[in-house]
Amino acid sequence: MTAPDTETTSGGFRGEVANVGVPALGGGFMVVCQVALGVVILLLWQGASGRLVDNFFISNPIDVGRRLLDWIADGSLFIHIWATVYATVLGFIVGSIGGVALGIWLGVSPFTSRLLNPYLNALNALPKVALAPLFVLWFGLGIESKVALAAVLVLFLVFLNTYAGVREVDQDLIDGARLMKATRTQVITKVIIPSAMSWVFAGLKISVPYALIGAVLGEMIAANRGLGYLVQFSGSQFDSAGVFAVLIVIALLAVALNFIVEFVQHRMQQWRVVGR
């Protein structure tokens, strides 16, 4: 579980290191440096390929670029991207709803939560990827099994955070509401849920990348479309250029998802939903 307001995995590396006396430089200059570094890496890659390392293993930027352009030209890339995005988003939604509902339910039912505790622990400890064959059996080779895998990864993260948030609610606030004639439902909807909100959002935020992981993994195991399928397929064809091309697309997709999460969080803070 993750406490709200702390930067976690999804926050990513921002290069915020201690100031060790290096003079601060303008943002524009840094962007130029970053682009330059990228170009240098590409040049080194191109140079090393075929000379230092066999082209078979690391391909080279020109082939990778050509492969991407081919896929864009015949439109196949977009079919795969769409399949992955679809499974990621749907898995995220299903898992979030399930996780929040389960977290709130168990959070307010001490008996049930104690009863289920060992089983939930066992399920949580289980590497969820191991469930993939089961999902293929249940839901077939189509998109549903990918959604299920993404959802189950998201569900546990969101559940744990929501549960912690609900348990963390100040008992005095609950007592106060009860003294003012609040019913049990009112206590849950007007005190417990709003109070747990920042925890819920922290859980949702960290689970976005996991939805992508679930979708891609699901596609790698059994599928006929999606980025996971494409990387798996390229690998099995010994097509290293194809593998690198897909990896770049997945990385860009992950960055885009992160960006959306940051944007949504920013808006939420403006609406004071994630307030103290």
Residue written as token pair 């770049």: 248
Kindly state whether residue 51 participates in binding another protein, applying the rule CB under 8 A. no
> Closer to another protein at the Cβ: 181 or 266?
181
Residue written as token pair 């066992």: 122
Sketch the per residue contact string, 196 through 215, with another protein: x for CB under 8 A, - otherwise.
-x------------------
Kindly state whether residue 175 participates in binding another protein, applying the rule CB under 8 A. yes
Out of 97, 173, 217, 268, the only residue in the binding site for another protein (CB under 8 A) is: 173
> Closer to another protein at the Cβ: 14 or 184?
184
Kindly state whether residue 276 participates in binding another protein, applying the rule CB under 8 A. yes
Query: b/e map of 196-205 (b: 16 or more CB within 10 Å)?
Result: bbbbbbbbbb
- Scanning 3-11, 91-99, 185-193, 224-232 for contacts with another protein by CB under 8 A, the matching segment is 185-193
The whole-angstrom distance between residue 218's C-alpha and the CA centroid of its chain comes to 14
Out of 101, 105, 190, 239, the only residue in the binding site for another protein (CB under 8 A) is: 190
Kindly state whether residue 272 participates in binding another protein, applying the rule CB under 8 A. yes
> Closer to another protein at the Cβ: 51 or 181?
181
Which 3 state secondary structure label does DSSP give 206? helix
Residue type, 207: S
Among candidate residues 245, 228, 234, the one with its CA nearest the CA of residue 91: 228
Residue type, 240: S
Kindly state whether residue 186 participates in binding another protein, applying the rule CB under 8 A. yes
Q: Euclidean distance between the first and final Cα of the chain, in Å?
A: 19
Alpha carbons 105 and 98: distance in angstroms, whole number: 10
Work out how close the CB of 178 gets to another protein at its nearest, in angstroms, rounded to a whole number: 5
Out of 18, 73, 111, 172, the only residue in the binding site for another protein (CB under 8 A) is: 172
Kindly state whether residue 184 participates in binding another protein, applying the rule CB under 8 A. no
Out of 29, 179, 236, 270, the only residue in the binding site for another protein (CB under 8 A) is: 179
> Closer to another protein at the Cβ: 47 or 194?
194
Between CA 32 and CA 38, with CA 33 as vertex, the angle to 5 degrees is 100
- Where residue 7 falls (left for φ over 0; alpha for ψ -120 to 50; beta otherwise) is beta
Taking each helix axis as running N to C, give the angle between helix 240-270 and helix 227-236, from 0 to 180 degrees, rounded to the nearest 10: 160
Kindly state whether residue 266 participates in binding another protein, applying the rule CB under 8 A. no
Kindly state whether residue 181 participates in binding another protein, applying the rule CB under 8 A. yes
Among candidate residues 216, 222, 220, the one with its CA nearest the CA of residue 234: 220
Kindly state whether residue 177 participates in binding another protein, applying the rule CB under 8 A. yes
Contacting residues toward another protein, per CB under 8 A: 170, 172-173, 175-183, 186, 190-191, 194-195, 197, 272, 275-276
